[in-house]
C-alpha cells in the first residue's frame, strides 16, 4: 500500500522560493512509491481563521474547507514545508493548519524548513515541531533544513551544487523516518482504536 502523504506549503509571496522544496519533496516521495499531494495554502485561499472546520454545522462548511478536511482525514502522513518570517512560522501555513485539529490526530508529521540564508529556516522548524505535537501528530525527529534555497534547488525543484548534494544525502533518512512512523501508526490504528 502506497503511503498517502500531504505536503503542506504556505507562502503567499509573489516570488515564492520554498515551492522549490515542495516540488523536490513531491518528486522524491513519488520516486519512493508514495502518493504525495501538494496542499498549497495560497492556491486554496482560506480566509483568516474565523471558524474552524469543526465549528461549522455538519455539511455546511465551505467546499474548500470540506474538501481539505477529507484529504487530511484520509492521509497517512504529513510534511510541512515552512519558511521563516522573523524567527517564526509563515502566517499562511499557520492559518491553513489552524482551520483543523482532530482531522490531524494519530498520524506522523515531518518538517522541512528553508530560507534564503544559512540558517535554513530552522527556527521556524523548531516552532512547528511543538505546534504539530500539540495538534495531535507524532512529529518525527528527522528534519530537512535547506538554505540558501536558491543555491540548493533550481526553479524546477532539482538539487543543484554542493548544497543540493547535501540535501540529497539528508533526504533518505528523513523519508525513512517518516515512512517508519507512517507504517507504525497505520498498524497500531488497525490493531487498536485511538483512545479519543
DSSP 125-142: HHHHHHHHHHTT-EE-S-
The pTM for the full model equals 0.96
30 CB-near residues (< 8 Å, 6+ apart): 36
Reading the chain (196 residues) residue by residue, the pLDDT tens digits are 899 999 999 999 999 999 999 999 999 999 999 999 999 999 999 999 999 999 999 999 999 999 999 999 999 999 999 999 888 899 999 999 999 999 999 999 999 999 988 889 999 999 999 999 999 999 999 999 999 999 999 999 999 999 999 999 999 999 999 999 999 999 999 999 999 8
Separation of alpha carbons 36 and 106, rounded Å: 19
CB 43 within 8 A of CB 10: no
Provide CATH code, domain 4-191: 3.40.50.360
Residue 157: exposed, middle, or buried by beta-carbon count in 10 A (0-12, 13-18, 19+)? middle
Residue-range domain boundaries for the chain: 4-191
Bridge partner list, 39: 8
Amino acid at each position: 500500500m502506497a503511503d498517502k502523504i500531504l505536503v503542506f506549503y504556505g507562502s503567499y509571496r509573489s516570488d515564492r522560493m520554498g515551492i522549490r522544496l515542495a516540488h523536490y519533496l513531491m518528486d522524491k516521495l513519488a520516486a519512493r512509491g508514495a502518493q504525495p499531494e501538494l496542499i498549497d495554502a495560497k492556491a486554496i485561499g482560506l480566509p483568516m481563521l474565523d471558524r474552524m472546520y469543526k465549528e461549522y454545522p455538519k455539511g455546511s462548511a465551505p467546499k474548500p474547507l470540506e474538501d481539505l478536511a477529507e484529504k487530511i482525514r484520509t492521509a497517512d502522513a504529513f510534511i510541512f514545508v515552512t519558511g521563516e518570517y522573523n524567527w517564526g512560522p509563515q502566517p499562511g501555513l499557520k492559518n491553513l493548519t489552524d482551520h483543523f485539529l482532530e482531522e490531524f490526530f494519530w498520524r506522523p508529521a515531518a518538517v522541512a524548513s528553508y530560507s534564503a540564508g544559512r540558517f535554513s529556516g530552522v527556527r521556524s522548524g523548531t516552532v512547528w515541531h511543538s505546534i504539530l505535537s500539540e495538534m495531535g501528530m507524532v512529529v518525527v525527529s528527522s528534519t530537512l533544513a535547506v538554505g540558501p534555497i536558491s543555491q540548493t534547488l533550481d526553479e524546477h525543484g532539482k538539487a543543484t551544487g554542493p548544497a543540493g548534494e547535501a540535501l540529497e544525502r539528508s533526504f533518505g533518512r528523513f523519508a525513512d523516518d517518516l515512512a517508519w512512523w507512517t507504517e507504525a501508526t497505520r498498524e497500531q490504528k488497525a490493531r487498536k482504536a485511538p483512545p479519543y
